[in-house]
Structure 1
Amino acid sequence: MTWGLFTTWILPGLWVTVQVTIFSAALAFAVSLAIGTLRTSRWWIVRFLSGAYFEIFRGTSALVMLFWFAFAFPLMFGYQLVPMWAGVLALGLTYGAYGSEIVRGALAAVPVAQREAGIALSFTPMQRLRRVEFPQAWPEMVAPLNALAIELLKGTALVSVISVSDLAFAGNVIRLSTGDNAPVYTLLLVMYFILAFAITRGMRVVERQAKKGIGQEPERVPLFRKRGAGSPGAAGDTRAMGGVNA
């Protein structure tokens, strides 16, 4: 693969992938917060409708949803979506359904005593959510949302099937024109990994700040651990050997 092909196809494809990831993630985050919060409502009709959204989008294929927005939506509503925005809608709404379960679970994990304290202070439900529940639930959401963001990044490759010139589309064009299968797809793997690594590092910073905001000291996990008395494989750790001392 020549430098000209790299600058003509790969770099523009990288920019398109970044844009699709950012816009889809923003939409998915907004949907996650809205649907996840509504699923904790005291009104059964609200829980039913938000739960129906969750089940529908969780139970349908993201690829088929992409085709629906690109090809069925214009026929049904008479409005043609730009392919890139069709992809953003399909990915954002689909992954937002998965994210809503993360939000719902984190809010449900807030101790009941905290909610009761908000009631005792005469907070409205919205005030309790904003001042009591969400600040405590947010640190628990970050790590699963990080994993979901990486899955969304990898899912952006689907937009290539509706002719959006992302990384996957650019790699396929170069492969067909040069026949360099191994170099092209190896390069794509490396570039997706770099993007995923950047997302992970950014979310780690967000997680540390979220935990500091509620007075928790973020856990620092070393990259490598020495084999010592505290490790599961240590000679003195009887739990690692089924409780039998040597």
Structure 2
Amino acid sequence: MNWLSYLAPLATGARVTLELTLYSTVLGGLFAFLFGLGRLSRKRLWRWTCIALIELFRGTSLLVQLFWLFFALPMLGQALGIDLRLPPVLAGTLALSLNIGAYGAEVVRGAIQAVPPRQYEAAQALDFTARQTLWRIALPQAIPEMLPSFSNLAVQNLKDTALVSLIGLGDMAFQAERIRNFTQDSVPVYSLLLLLYFGMALVLAGAMRILECSVGRWRHRRA
């Protein structure tokens, strides 16, 4: 069988992989800021809730988290009389975004805490509220410092999407496994899969690099 004939189903899977990467990376970024800012909150209950969620998702396997959301959560819902079944794409997106959000939360926390104390002292002298200090002082300085780490997390998230094939979602890894089972042609199938992931990772890293440069120029203009 011609190697080129494998590209059509792999391209179909690539579209699913790209969509899943986009959704989970954006949602994971939101979770990262939610958990990261929550960890710095003065409200004890909210702070400890965020800490617990961060440690839970950083301290357990992404595969187990995925299986729990897709297989265990519906059974729990059934016991409670609630329908908690999640479609594969939703379960995959949620597991990936919570996982990347937990790791990203530490990036957010570290970048905000790295803002020089004199900046906060100046904001206090100007009688800024805590919200004004966050949005006008801390985040504009912290976000450029977060982006290199977020770029690494985004690429890692792209690679982690291969796990969703285990719950029946038709991504690239799922399509590759179907082709291999049908043709028993492991070397070309997995070689093409390897090259596709590598190419997508390069494009994603390049896009994140452009974003870093844009934010860096924006910071210099504000300065």
TM-score range, shorter chain: over 0.9
1:125 correspondence with 2:130: yes
Aligned to 2:57: 57
Pairs aligned (count): 215
Counterpart residue type for residue 85 of structure 1: L
Q: Find the counterpart in structure 2 of residue 45 from structure 1.
A: 45
- CA-based RMSD: 1.3
Residue of structure 2 equivalent to 1:220: none
The CA distance in 1 between the partners of 2:72 and 2:207, in whole Å, is 37
In the other structure, the counterpart of 2:75 is: 75
Residue matched to 1:188: 193
- The aligned residue for residue 7 of structure 2 is 6
**Counterparts of 1:197 and 1:27 in 2: how far apart (Å)?**
21
Q: Deviations over 1:185-213 (max 9, x none)?
A: 11111110111111111111111122222
Work out the CA distance in 2 between the residues paired with 1:70 and 1:60.
16
After TM superposition, give the deviation of residue 152 of structure 1 in Å.
Answer: 0.5
How many angstroms apart in 1 are the aligned matches of 2:106 and 2:141?
Answer: 16
Deviation of 1:161 (Å): 0.4
**2-structure distance, mates of 1:41, 1:212:** 30
Shift of residue 6, structure 1, vs aligned partner: 2.4
CA distance in 1, matches of 2:125, 2:12: 56
- Alignment-mate amino acid for residue 146 of structure 2: M
> 1:214 Cα shift?
2.0
Alignment of 1:171-182 (within 5 A): 171-182=176-187
**What's the CA shift string for 1:199-241, capped at 9, x where partnerless?**
111111111122222228xxxxxxxxxxxxxxxxxxxxxxxxx
- Tell me the percent identity: 43
What is aligned with 1:88?
Answer: 93
Q: How do 1:157-172 residues align onto structure 2 when only pairs under 5 Å count?
A: 157-172=162-177
Q: Which amino acid aligns with 2:7?
A: F
- Structure 2 distance, partners of 1:45, 1:64, is 27
TM-score, normalised on structure 1? 0.84
Letter paired with 1:6: L
Q: Is the 8 A contact 2:6 2:189 kept in 1?
A: no
Give 1 or 2 for the bigger CA radius of gyration: 1
Structure scoring higher RCO (CA < 8 A, sep ≥ 6) equals 2
| In structure 2, C-alpha distance between the alignment counterparts of 1:95 and 1:5, rounded to whole Å | 31
After TM superposition, give the deviation of residue 113 of structure 1 in Å: 0.7
Task: State the distance in 2 between where 1:120 and 1:209 align.
Answer: 31
Aligned to 1:110, what secondary structure does the other structure show?
A: coil
Q: CA deviation at 1:46?
A: 2.6
Per-residue CA deviation, residues 25-67 of structure 1 (Å, 9 max, x unaligned), is 1111000011111111233333211111111111111101111
SS in 1 for 2:220: coil
CA distance in 2, matches of 1:213, 1:117: 22
Unaligned 5+ residue runs, structure 1? Answer: 217-246
Deviation at 1:80, TM superposition (A): 1.6
1:36 maps to amino acid: G
Distance 2:89 2:203 in 1: 23
| Whole-Å separation in 1 of the counterparts to 2:84 and 2:209 | 40
Quote how far apart the aligned CAs of 1:4 are. Answer: 4.1
Specify every segment of 5 or more residues in structure 2 that has no aligned partner in the other structure, as ranges. 78-82
